[in-house]
Amino acid sequence: MRDPIQWVLNRMPPSGDRYLEVMSMANAAKARAFHRSFPQYGLTPLAGLPNMAGRLGLGGLWVKDESYRFGLNAFKVLGGSFAMGRYIAQELGRDVSQVDYAYLTGEKLKEEFDQATFFTATDGNHGRGVAWAANKLGQKAVVHMPKGSAKSRFDNIAREGAAVTIEEVNYDDCVRMAAAEAAQTEHGVVVQDTAWEGYEEIPAWIMQGYGTMAGEAAEQLKAAGVERPTHVFVQAGVGSLAGAVVGYFANLYPENPPKFIVMEARIADCLYQGAKAGDGAPRMVGGDLQTIMAGLACGEPNTISWDILRNHVDAFLSCPDWVSAKGMRMLAVPVKGDPAVCSGESGAVGMGVISTLMTDNSYKELREALGLDESSKVLMFSTEGDTDPEKYQEIVWGGAYPSA
Q: How far apart are CA 382 and CA 95, in angstroms?
A: 32
Buried b (16+ CB within 10 A) or exposed e, 56-73: bebbbbbbbbbbbbbebb
In the chain the first and final C-alpha atoms are separated, in Å, by: 8
**Maximum Cα interatomic distance, the chain, rounded to a whole number of Å:** 64
Q: What H or E segment, with its residue span, contains residue 34?
A: helix 25-36
Catalytic residue list contains 140: no
Which residue among 123, 314, 321, 388 is the active-site one?
123
Environment class of 133 (CB within 10 Å of its CB; exposed 0-12, middle 13-18, buried 19+):
buried
Is residue 73 within 8 A of residue 386, CB to CB? The reply is yes
Catalytic residue list contains 110: no
> What sign for the dihedral angle of Cα 21, 25, 30, 36?
positive
Nearest in space to 33 (alpha carbons), one of 247, 203, 216: 216
Question: By three-state DSSP, how is residue 263 classified?
Answer: strand
Chain centroid to Cα 311, Å, comes to 19
Which residue among 30, 64, 65, 76 is the active-site one?
76
Q: Which residues are catalytic?
A: 76, 123
